[in-house]
Amino acid sequence: MKNVFFVCALYLSIVSISKAQDTVQFRSIKPIEYNHKLGFAGSMFSGYGISYEYKASKDITLEFTGSIYGSGGSNDNNSTYDYSNSYLVAVIGAEFQRNFFASNDSRFYGLIGVGLWIDNTDYSYNYSYSNKTDYSGGVGLGWEFTFGKRIIFNVEGGYLYRYMNTTGTYDYSSGNRAVVTTKHNYYLGFGGGLGLYYAF
C-alpha cells in the first residue's frame, strides 16, 4: 500500500513539474511583431490616400501618407456649352507617433502630423484656373486596435492648424486671364483621422 501511495505521489509531482515548465515556456514565447503596415488612411493632420507605417523602435512609429489623382479636359471647338475641365490633386503628409501604452493587440500614442494638399484646376468654359495650396499641422492622440494579428485599425483626434491659399483667374467676357485673385484663409480647431492597415 505504501508503494502504491509513493508511486502516485511521484507521478503527480512529475506531472505538476511538467505543467509548470510548459507554462513558463509558453509565457516566454513572445508574439510575432510586425514592423511594417500598409493600407489606407484619411487624416486632417497628414492627408489621405495610401499609407505606410514603419515601427522604428519599441515606442516610435513613422507614418507616410499620399495620393495623386486627376482628369483632363479641353474645349477645342471653343463652344460655350463645353464645360469640360482638367484638374490635378496631390496630397502628401507624415506623422511622428510616440507610444504611451502598448500591448499585444492595441496601443495608445501621441502624434505630430504635417500635410500638404495641392489642387490645380483649369476651367475650359471660361478660360479660368484655380490653384489651391493647403498646409496643415497638428498634435493629437491616437488609438490602434489589432484584429486577427494582421489587420490594424486606428482612430486619431487632436488640435489642428490649416492654412489655405487660393490663387485663380476669372474672365467670362473675352477669354483673357485678366483678373487674378488671391485668397488666404486658415482653420484652427479640432481634427481627426482614420486608418486601416495590413501588418507584415
Tens-place pLDDT, residues 46-55? 999 999 999 9
**Does residue 38 surpass a pLDDT of 70?**
yes
- Over residues 38-50, mean pLDDT: 97
Encode pLDDT of 114-132 as tens digits: 999 999 887 766 667 788 9
pLDDT value of position 181: 78
Question: Average pLDDT of 128-155?
Answer: 93
pLDDT on residue 188: 97
**CA–CA distance, 86 with 70 (Å, rounded to integer):** 7
Of 149 and 37, the structure prediction assigns the larger pLDDT to 37
Q: Is the pLDDT of residue 28 over 70?
A: no
* pLDDT over threshold 60, residue 136: yes
Find the distance separating the first CA and the last CA of the chain, reported in whole Å: 60
Q: Which residues pair with 156 in a beta bridge?
A: 142, 193
Sign of the C-alpha dihedral, residues 95, 37, 59, 42? positive
In CATH, 31-199 is 2.40.160.20: yes
How do the domains of the chain map onto residue ranges?
Answer: 31-199
